Amino acid sequence: MALKATVFKVELQIADMDRNYYESHALTVARHASETDERMMVRLLVFALYASDALAFGKGIAADDEPTLWEKDLTGTIERWIEVGQPDEREIRKASGRAKQVVIVTYGRSAEPWWEQNRDKLQRISNLTVLRLPQATTQALAALANRNMQLQCSIQERSVLITTDTGAVQVDPEVLMGALGGASPKT
């Protein structure tokens, strides 16, 4: 018998001063049986970073042909393809041909070796952004996970503060390539 996904209800309030985006989202997030709280919370963080009316979660870990998150326009054209983790370089190239922008958000112990192994090949992809999250930060996010969450997310000058009733986590994504949030990187 296959294990079922665990359902999380999330009220996510976003105040993104960098993009002038201020919205609340009522989300139902299914955490696959093989997914950790850490990865699920990273998915929620990434949703907040790129939030829009058209941004949606993909089918999840079990679907090879869909990203973690994606944004499509009204014609079905993929505007943004977002993956969380360390995807295969060939899959990233394939996604870059299907979407106007591709974003990879990597985290965990294997993030640095993955980047070192793939950096040269990935830097040839013009519509790619790669972000890395510190492991201590993503583990602190995992500690905030709860079946019914109310998250407040403030984003200012590429820095993210996520707060709940039980705590707060400061997140400073490192831009390895491209730009955070679709905006130009600071120089």
**pLDDT tens profile 142-179:** 999 999 999 999 999 989 999 999 999 999 999 999 97
In angstroms, the CA 19 to CA 153 distance is: 13
Q: Is the model's pLDDT at 182 over the cut of 60?
A: no
Tell whether the model's pLDDT for residue 181 goes beyond 70. no
Q: How far apart are the first and last CA of the chain?
A: 53
CATH of domain 37-149+173-182: 3.10.640.10
In the predicted structure, residue 81 carries a pLDDT above the cut 70: yes
The packing angle between helices 89-98 and 111-122, to 10°, is 50
Per-residue pLDDT, 4:
83
Between 60 and 158, residue with greater pLDDT: 158
Rounded Cα–Cα distance for residues 33 and 29 (Å): 13
- The DSSP bridge pattern shows strands 6-16 and 69-72 to be unpaired
Question: Residue 122: is its pLDDT beyond 50?
Answer: yes
What is the model's pTM? Answer: 0.92
**pLDDT (0 to 100) of residue 185:** 36
> How far apart are alpha carbons 147 and 137 in whole angstroms?
20
Mean predicted confidence (pLDDT) in 91-115: 96
In the chain, what percentage of residues exceed pLDDT 70?
Answer: 93
Angle between helices 37-50 and 135-143 (to 10 degrees): 100
d(CA 101, CA 159): 21
**Per-residue pLDDT averaged across 132-148, rounded?**
96
3-state SS of 96-129? Answer: HHHEEEEEEEEECCCHHHHHHHHHHHHCCCCCEE
Residue 184 is predicted with a pLDDT of 35
The mean pLDDT value of the chain amounts to 91
